[in-house]
Chain A
Amino acid sequence: MSDFIDRLKGMFNIDSESLARVFKLVKQIGIYESVKVLMKQPFFRNAVKSKLEELHTALVNKYNITSESIIHVEEGDKVKVVAELEIADPELRKEFQDRLRDLVRNIFGGEYGLVPEFVKEFEIESISCKERGDKVFVYVVGGKKLIELLKVGGVENVGEEEG
């Protein structure tokens, strides 16, 4: 059994039956539609927003992120989401890159229930990370639906693009 499912079960003490039911429904409806339905509920919307804010604060504090921005660029039928983070400390910059690589590797290389569905539904082609000066750039190339997901998920200003 994967760590992810273990953790999820541990976190909410969800029994296997309920979890299997949730996964099955998400697969039937699609991840985007599921997220959309859940985010329409103020309880879940606030919970997700609050979790995202907590995560943002934790990351900013841990890696001393001075500033960050997120843009997207359309390239034919694909879209490239670019997140730019300014981390002045070179060691922290390196640590951030390494930790992110481990995370992406573990999530996408693991056997997590909804990951293949996610990759397929949002046509995720690649995830990459580059360092330039005191900035770290994270790129996600996928289908245009990815932008809709980010908007539904509460990521603000992802629609803004340079130019």
Chain B
Amino acid sequence: MAPLFGKKEEEEEIEETDEEYQFEDIEVKVKFRPSPNHGWRLAKDVEPPLELVEDLFFGGEEISKEAEDELRSWIAEELGGGQWKIELTKAGKTLRSKTINIDDVDIIYGVNKWIVYVKGEESNKWYKADAEFAHPPSTAEIIDQVGGGGRIRIVGYDEKGRIMSSKIVNINVPPPDWLLEREDSFEKKMKEAFKKQLETQQEKLLSAITGDGGQQSSGIDRVIEKLEQLVEEKKLESVQRIIEALERSGKKEEEKKSLSETLFIDPYKAKVKSLTLLIEKFAEKGDIETARQLLNEIPDGSSALISLMTAGANLANAVANMLAGAGSTNKVRRKLDKMVDERIKKKEEMEKEEKKEEEEVEEKAEESEKEEVTESEVEETTEEEKRVLVEERESEDGWDMKLEVEE
């Protein structure tokens, strides 16, 4: 917004053109910055509706809140996101100011062009795409210009080439072909660079041993020959190691396993494999009955169930032990161990008592009682906890939940 009552000439100009733009002798200034990392800059050309500005500062609590919301919508629509400060000043002194943050709308103000970069997952490098826009690009425009998706960075520059905005977006379509080619050439370059470095080091080492002139006695010749041989072997070994490491890193993605696979599927596979081998052995020995019994073991999934139960219990214990280990540097661990031991003892005692009681009741009743006891124990731990109070509100364009822990 143009200063209303700042410099005299501007004041006069405004008075001539738009007399409504006045708060007695108060000047209204609008400042902008893309983020807190930038400095404020005066947005002389920005003129939000004056009645909203008036309501914002002088409308009372309710009207002021409404005016702020309306101003936010107006700025978002007309000027885009960022931080906007509206100041009332008099004789150069700031009387009142209000900052409006708009963080869910693209920053447009002050941005001259948007350039797109794509991240290479192998090299972790950002590659500049042949895509430049005069407006914040849409996903479809990016896919069209870049030739694919992936991890995309959209950078907005001002007319002086300064970064005004930077946003990283995942576009859920395969990355462009050119990126894969550039990633491949990056890997090749890395390998060549490694080789070159090794060769240079070898040359340096040899020249250090042989001296500049290269004149040696026959005894030394043999030593040098041996050393050369060793260096050559070492060099080949290192190159081999690097190539293997690079290949391994390339294959990492394929080797990843999910938690359920590691915990349940792999042990199950191993068990089935062992059983198959045993069946073969028994069958070879002519013990068909045992082989048949073992064969029945495989498809009923009982071994998988055992693996699952064992793995589950082991996982819980591993988590508990790991967490207990986290507090091992202070007294907390001892305290926790003591508490856990006490709890286990208490549980054992309770279980003994329960067992006695259970003996007097019928089998079915015993089972249901057992379940109830186990459940109530877990409830015991949750009942001690505080609750979260959720205050829900619905709006035209969505919903909002305020959370507060009950005191």
Interface residues of A (CB under 8 A from B): 1-2, 5, 11-26, 28-29, 33-34, 37-38, 41, 43, 46-47, 50-51, 54, 60, 65-69, 71, 73-75, 80, 82, 84, 86, 97, 101, 104-105, 108-109, 111-113, 115-117, 119-120, 124-132, 137, 139, 157, 160-163
Contact = CB atoms under 8 A, between A and B. Distances in A.
A12 B313 CA distance: 7
Contact of B322 (A2, A41, A71): A41
Interface stretch (B207-215, B237-245, B268-276, B336-344): B336-344
Interface in B375-395: 375, 377-379, 381-382, 385-388, 390, 392, 395
A144 B375 CA distance: 37
Interface of B: 33-38, 81-82, 101, 103-104, 107, 139, 149, 152, 164-172, 256-259, 262, 308-309, 311-313, 315-317, 319-320, 322-327, 332, 335-336, 339-340, 343-344, 347, 374-375, 377-379, 381-382, 385-388, 390, 392, 395, 397-406
A60 B173 CA distance: 10
Query: Do most interface residues of chain B lie in helix, strand or loop, or is the interface mixed?
Result: mixed
10 contacts: A16-B374, A17-B377, A20-B343, A28-B335, A29-B327, A97-B398, A97-B399, A125-B402, A128-B400, A163-B34
Among A25, A73, A124, A126, residue most surrounded by chain B Cβ atoms (within 10 Å): A25
A21 B340 CA distance: 7
Nearest to A37: B326
Contacts of A105: 390, 392, 401
Given A21-B320, A108-B403, A162-B34, A69 B169 contact: yes
B73 to A, nearest CB: 11
B385 A130 contact: no
Given A47-B259, A161-B35, A163-B34, 12 more contacts: A21-B316, A22-B319, A24-B381, A25-B324, A26-B323, A28-B332, A38-B319, A46-B256, A46-B257, A67-B139, A82-B103, A129-B400
With a 10 A CB-CB cut-off, give which of B38, B257, B325, B378 has the most chain A CB atoms. Answer: B378
Tell which of B327, B335, B377, B401 has the most Cβ of chain A within 10 Å.
B401
Nearest to A129: B398
